[in-house]
Amino acid sequence: MSEQLSAPPHFFEFHAFVCCNRRPDGHARGSCAAKGSEKLRDYMKVRAKELGIARARINSAGCLDRCELGPCLVIYPQGDWYRITTPADVERVVATQFGGTADDLRLPNA
Ligand code: FES
């Protein structure tokens, strides 16, 4: 008789890493912070709390190596990537947790 193994629940249901890397002005790759990611991260934190998203965590991240596509973030455990440029974009990405869609903001996973 075999025992069924199931994966343990994820500690965070919504764990976003927002790139807040900042490079000097004029750098060839640019940087997400120079494009406003820090304010968008702060906005996402506020909205996740206001919406009562269970076990949400919004973290700052260093460079995620997709600089030219930024400001960017990745959400785990889903592994979904997004480009966010406005608070409205943040609203839509957060709403994906509740069945909304932000497919047009998605970045390819590879
Ligand atoms: S600076 Fe944001 S991904 Fe590199």
| pLDDT over 60 (residue 55) | yes
Question: What local confidence, expressed as pLDDT, does residue 73 receive?
Answer: 97
The H or E element spanning position 89 is helix 87-95
Residue 82 lies in a domain: yes
| pLDDT over 90 (residue 31) | yes
Nearest Cα residue to 73 out of 63, 86, 83? 83
- Which amino acid residue places its CA nearest to atom 1 of ligand 1? 31
Residue 36 lies in a domain: yes
Host domain of residue 82? 15-107
Q: What is the CATH number of the domain that holds 59?
A: 3.40.30.10
Q: Round to whole Å and give the CA distance between 47 and 90.
A: 9
Nearest Cα residue to 59 out of 7, 17, 103, 12? 17
Q: Which positions ≥6 away from 95 have C-beta within 8 Å? A: 102
Pocket lined around ligand 1, Cβ cut-off 6 Å: 19, 21, 31-32, 63-67, 70, 72
The pTM score is 0.87
Residue 62 lies in a domain: yes
Residue 39 lies in a domain: yes
Cα angle: 2, vertex 11, 91; to 5 degrees: 130
Q: How many domains does the chain have?
A: 1
What separation in Å is there between the alpha carbon of 8 and the centre of ligand 1? Answer: 31
Question: What local confidence, expressed as pLDDT, does residue 19 receive?
Answer: 98
Structure tokens at 54: 């269970």
Residue 8 lies in a domain: no
> Which ligand 1 atom minimizes the distance to the CA of 19?
2
> Which ligand 1 atom minimizes the distance to the CA of 70?
2
Instruction: Categorize the per-residue pLDDT at 2 as very low, low, confident or very high, splitting at 50, 70 and 90.
Output: low
Residue 2 lies in a domain: no
| pLDDT over 90 (residue 84) | yes
Question: What local confidence, expressed as pLDDT, does residue 98 receive?
Answer: 62
Stronger pLDDT, 82 or 100, i.e. the higher one: 82
Residue 52 lies in a domain: yes
